[in-house]
Amino acid sequence: MRYITLFLLLTGATLAMAQSKKELQAEINQLKTEIDNLKKPKTVNMDNEMAKISYALGTLMANNVKSQGADSLDIDALNAGMRDALSGKKILVEPNEAMMIVQNYMQQAAMRKAEKAKAAGVQYLAANKLKEGVVTTASGLQYKVLQQGNGKQPTASDRVTVHYIGTLIDGIEFDSSVRRGQPATFSVGGVIRGWTEALQLMKEGDKWMLYIPYELAYGERGSGGQIPPYSTLLFEVELIKVN
């Protein structure tokens, strides 16, 4: 009788242990599924007004920090910070400290972005000056004659009418009188240094490709949101008329 009882106890314990392992494995599988679901991008219901507003705010914030050079944010931590602040929960970083942390990060990110832009421009111009037909002046301006004219040559005090297309070295177009369908008229001495120098070398009817280092363009500040700091600029310029 004792042996039968012991056998039943051992069998019950084994079954219980097997059951526990099955339940544990099921819980592990459930957790894995939940983790996988959390990793998947959530679909935003743009028919929901508040979801649409929240998504729009998120894109504006992201574009703002990206434009300032932010390149590596922890999205989960960012969401946690917003959630804690919006819900009134105790935040882990006080506002003054948070401001210092963010300012320090953005300054470093801007410096990294600037150094990257400068290096890219230097590399581009170094390779470009070796190409056939490209002329490099003492200032560092580079140009290539696409079409020769034989008209009047402007001075720094003249006004000129031109057609132009401006791009960054990655090919992104930031301005174009050609696209607008209307040539531009301005003073030769009233534009960026690279243009002022190039225009005084051109004649009416000339069409040149200009390769302008950042020092002769918009420098360390850039211009608006389309021309980042330290940008080397490319322009196709046609000198239509000296006024």
- Beta-sheet pairing, 173-176 with 184-187: unpaired
Structure-block tokens of residue 164: 């132009």
> Are the C-beta atoms of residues 216 and 193 closer than 8 Å to each other?
yes
Q: Is 174 a catalytic residue?
A: yes
Q: Is 105 a catalytic residue?
A: no
Please pick, among 143, 175, 212, 230, the residue that the annotation labels catalytic: 175
> Are the C-beta atoms of residues 178 and 226 closer than 8 Å to each other?
no
Q: Is 192 a catalytic residue?
A: yes
Please pick, among 105, 165, 169, 192, the residue that the annotation labels catalytic: 192
Q: Is 175 a catalytic residue?
A: yes
Ramachandran assignment for 236, one of left (phi > 0), alpha (psi -120 to 50 degrees), beta (any other): beta
Please pick, among 211, 218, 227, 240, the residue that the annotation labels catalytic: 218
Tell me which DSSP letter residue 91 carries. Answer: P
d(CA 10, CA 208): 93
Q: Is 186 a catalytic residue?
A: no
Tell me which DSSP letter residue 225 carries. Answer: T
Q: Is 143 a catalytic residue?
A: no
Please pick, among 143, 164, 214, 230, the residue that the annotation labels catalytic: 164
- The number of beta carbons lying within 10 Å of the beta carbon of residue 122 is 14
Q: Burial-class residue 88 by CB neighbours within 10 Å (0-12, 13-18, 19+).
A: exposed
Please pick, among 55, 105, 124, 174, the residue that the annotation labels catalytic: 174
Please pick, among 143, 206, 235, 240, the residue that the annotation labels catalytic: 235
Catalytic residue set: 164, 174-175, 192, 218, 235
